[in-house]
Amino acid sequence: MKFQPTKEGYYGQFGGAFIPELLYPNVKELEDNYLKILESDEFQKEYKDLLQHYVGRPSPLYLAKRLSEKYGATIYLKREDLNHTGAHKVNNTIGQILVAKHLGKTKIIAETGAGQHGVATATVCALMNLECTVFMGEVDIKRQAPNVARMKMLGAKVVAATSGSKTLKDATNEAIRYWIQNPETYYLIGSVVGPHPYPDMVARLQAVISEEMKAQLKEQTGNENPDTIIACVGGGSNAAGAFYHYLENEKVELIAVEAAGLGVNSGESAATSQLGEVGVIHGSKTILMQDEYGQIVEPYSLSAGLDYPGVGPLHAYLFETKRAKFMNATDKEALDAAFELTKIEGIIPALETAHALAVLPKMDLKKDQVVVINLSGRGDKDLETYINHLEK
């Protein structure tokens, strides 16, 4: 079990819980209880029931024939875009809201970049009748207006983060500060980031993706193992979910795709594994984009969900041990990939997901190579960006 964290939440040198004393009791409470809760029959029953009847799982595993033809491989799309709320994020929020309820919490806070996690959190809070506050960077509020409207309609309070780059990193800082001042709240983290046990808990909740993938591949191809799995990585929750049950099977190639923005070396990028070094951000030790004095560098990507200067500690470890191959795609390559998938498969992907699709032309694919791309979300929220580029 090389890729499972230690008791203290370490994946090799990465992970841990680097939090101010002010947050220690909250994190300790969660750490002491999360496994007991997740593994209880009561939780499993309720979680699976909601995933099936509320989220709409299992999500289809679709053989994309025209995409396969174009790239000369056997390409499947794991359709997380068909989940309720439009992305993989809801797998985690459904799970964590049940954890919060088990812990007796009544107020929920969350951070969001593209708004997908914010919407997924606001949704489950509406479902469970819990008060919801979502922190979102001021810049992201502007570029993801439909999701902001959705959150508000769902009854959530959206608080603008106005510090730093006014994006996901700053929304996370604001959420953590609010949590410090309101320790009775439950912080529903949206990715495999943050202090232990969040990275492990979120990975376990997203693992439903690879669990289904195994059964579906077995049914469709006779073999539960694909040759390659591709997923985009900002914090890395959809990738963690798509990789989870294959982590220990080194015959399955794992490809994590980061956002290169205007180019890895352009100074406007979010390709953390290429540009980052070991550091501490938002409560865990990981790989982090920073300057020579350890100040966190503001990342850039056209996609709000990938605009994050770190990656989850599991991904840092997958990168360090070379278990996963890290690739990247620029804004332009992602846009091209999004338009291509829309035209040839009739699926408008989220801009984040488009990064995963964008590495296909860069790969040396073989006809019988079974590739699964985790189609993490749908592109409705990115329509304005797409329209802007359609007109050009």
Two structure tokens written together for 139: 């810049």
Question: Least separation, in Å, of the C-beta of 23 and another protein?
Answer: 8
Cβ proximity to another protein: between 310 and 349 the closer is: 310
Cβ proximity to another protein: between 163 and 265 the closer is: 163
Question: Least separation, in Å, of the C-beta of 312 and another protein?
Answer: 17
d(CA 47, CA 33): 17
Two structure tokens written together for 79: 């359709």
Phi, psi of 73 (to 5 degrees): -150, 180
Cβ proximity to another protein: between 176 and 192 the closer is: 176
d(CA 169, CA 272): 13
d(CA 98, CA 326): 33
Cβ proximity to another protein: between 24 and 362 the closer is: 24
Q: Collapse the DSSP code of 373 into the 3-class scheme (helix H, G, I; strand E, B; otherwise coil) and give the result.
A: strand
CA-nearest of 117, 115, 120 to 142 is: 115
Two structure tokens written together for 249: 């099977």
Q: Does 288 bind another protein (CB under 8 A)?
A: yes
Helix extents (H) in the chain: 24-39, 41-50, 65-71, 89-102, 116-128, 138-143, 145-153, 168-181, 198-206, 208-221, 237-243, 272-275, 313-320, 331-345, 351-357, 383-391
Q: Does 197 bind another protein (CB under 8 A)?
A: no
Q: Does 183 bind another protein (CB under 8 A)?
A: yes
Cα dihedral across residues 67, 238, 273, 325: positive or negative: negative
> Is 191 noted as a catalytic residue in this protein?
no
Which of 78, 80, 105, 111 is catalytic? The answer is 111
Q: Does 113 bind another protein (CB under 8 A)?
A: no
Contact map string, positions 21 to 60, toward another protein, x by CB under 8 A: xx-xx-----------------------------------
Q: Does 164 bind another protein (CB under 8 A)?
A: yes
Q: Does 17 bind another protein (CB under 8 A)?
A: yes
Among 3, 11, 14, 19, binds another protein (CB under 8 A): 19
Count of residues binding another protein (CB under 8 A)? 33
Cα dihedral across residues 43, 49, 52, 56: positive or negative: negative
Query: According to CB under 8 A, which residues from 220 to 279 bind another protein?
Result: 277-279
Q: Does 13 bind another protein (CB under 8 A)?
A: no
d(CA 130, CA 128): 6
Among 115, 235, 283, 313, binds another protein (CB under 8 A): 283
> Is 376 noted as a catalytic residue in this protein?
yes
Which of 31, 80, 89, 105 is catalytic? The answer is 89
Q: Does 281 bind another protein (CB under 8 A)?
A: yes
Cβ proximity to another protein: between 33 and 220 the closer is: 33
Cβ proximity to another protein: between 277 and 384 the closer is: 277
Cβ proximity to another protein: between 17 and 350 the closer is: 17
Contact map string, positions 120 to 159, toward another protein, x by CB under 8 A: ----------------------------------------
Residue 49 has a CB neighbour count (10 Å cut-off) of 11
Question: Least separation, in Å, of the C-beta of 233 and another protein?
Answer: 20
Applying CB under 8 A, the span of 69-77, 120-128, 287-295, 299-307 interacting with another protein comes to: 287-295
Amino acid at 287: I
Residues in contact with 229: Cβ distance below 8 Å, sequence separation at least 6, in sequence order = 210, 213, 242, 243, 246, 252, 253, 254, 255, 371, 372, 373, 374
Query: Could you tell me if 70 and 205 are in contact, meaning their C-beta atoms sit under 8 angstroms apart?
Result: no
Q: For strand 61-63 and strand 74-79, is the pairing parallel, antiparallel, or unpaired?
A: antiparallel
CA-nearest of 212, 225, 257 to 239 is: 257
> Is 68 noted as a catalytic residue in this protein?
no
Q: Does 8 bind another protein (CB under 8 A)?
A: yes
- Per CB under 8 A, residues contacting another protein are 8, 16-22, 24-25, 163-164, 169, 173, 176-177, 180-181, 183, 277-283, 288, 290, 292-296
Q: Which residues are catalytic?
A: 89, 111, 376
